[in-house]
Structures are given as C-alpha cells and as structure tokens.
Amino acid sequence: MARQLTLDLALPPPTYAREDFVVAPGNREALAWIDRWPDWPAPALSLGGPPGSGKTHLAQIWARAAGAAVVEGPGLDGKSVADLTDLVAASPALVVEQADRAPERALFHLYNLAREHRGWLLLVAEALPAHWSIALPDLASRLRAAPAVAVSPPDDELLGSIILKQLADRQLHAAPGVVHYLVAHMERSGEAARHVVAALDRRALAERREIDRRLAADVLAELAS
C-alpha cells in the first residue's frame, strides 16, 4: 500500500488547562486541595505521585490560579538567603518541582520566607516528604505540619478517558475495542496516552489505515522498539 507523505512535526506542548484535567478517584483529593487554595492550613502543600500521574498538570493548574512561578529543586543549589528572599519577593507563590532533590536549607528558608511574606509553596515530587530522607530537623517538622496529598497512577477508566479525549481533540475515530486494547497494553500515564494517539494519527494518515486493533498493536510495538 502506498504511503502518504506526512510531516514529522514535534508534538505541541501540553496546555495543562483546567478543562483538560480528567478527574478520577486517584486524583480527586489532590484536586480538592488545589481548589482549596488559598485556604490551606500551612504555607505549603506537598504533592506526590509517580511519573505520568498528573501531578504536573495539577501543579500548573495551581500555578495559574495563584500566579506562581515554577522552579526546579536542584536549581536551588547554591542559592543564598538573599537570593531566595528576592525569589519570594518577585513571586510569593512558588511551585518547586523535584522538591525532594532541593537542598534542605534552601527549602527551609523558602518555607520560612513564604510564611513571613504570606506566600505559598507547592512542593512536587514522586514521594511525599514523609518518605524523604531529611537530615534537617526543623525542615522535617515544618513539612510534617503541612498537608500532603498523593496522586495515584491512572486507573483503566481514567486512562481510557484520556485516550478518548486525545482522539476527539484530533478528530479521530477508533474502531471498537481499540481503547480497551491500548489501556491493557500501554504505559499507564497521561503523557504516554498523548504520544500513543499522536503516533496512531501519524501512522493512520501515512498508511491510509483505519485506527483498529492491528494498527494499535503496530504502533505500540514501534514505540517500544
């Protein structure tokens, strides 16, 4: 079968819009905490979950609502108290990604500065602080006193909903059984669903094929190679 020429375009970055977030039992509590801001009982909230569980999407929803800047935990290495003070002054609300890899003293000072300046911290990591190896007692006590919530990996229903939305966004039709097949055989993450549907779109167009289980199997094998 003749292949149609397709442009190998990079995937557009995810929008992380609130309306694109699919609510499920594994993320409902975390979303409730995000929506509860600024009525948090402490100046920080810790958000944990495995890669692809949606915690970055939640962090971006909060960042937009709070006008927060996003910093990487390892990037705080070497920052002085004056540097951190300037950071909080410029953006009282901060998302700290990979917070478990941030220098402990930097996190300690950020927490205190957020409290002094009526600011906020959203600490994002795979594990919650209770599972971090924290050597600084004052930091450990502050994080224990702050709320922490975990996000679970997508269950079958959520992953299927994400795939269906990705298909709908691209105006694609999948044959019966395709979504169930993908859910049973692909990596369980929202980002993986996005890449799989994009690959289905490209291959179906290039080969002029229906998006059926055979194509789904071919695409998953290709992505795994």
* pTM, full prediction: 0.79
145 & 41 share domain = yes
Say yes or no: 68 and 87 in one domain: yes
Q: What is the CATH number of the domain that holds 177?
A: 1.10.8.60
Full pLDDT tens readout for the chain, 225 residues:
444 434 344 555 666 888 888 888 899 999 999 999 999 999 999 999 988 788 999 999 999 999 999 999 999 999 999 999 999 999 999 999 999 999 999 999 999 999 999 999 999 999 999 999 999 999 999 999 999 999 998 888 889 988 998 898 899 999 999 999 999 999 888 888 888 999 999 999 999 999 999 999 999 999 988
Distance, in Å, from the CA atom of 188 to the CA atom of 30, rounded to the nearest integer, reads 19
Domain count, the chain: 2
**CA 73 – CA 61 distance, rounded (Å):** 19
In this structure, are 57 and 123 located in the same domain?
A: yes
Residue type, 113: L
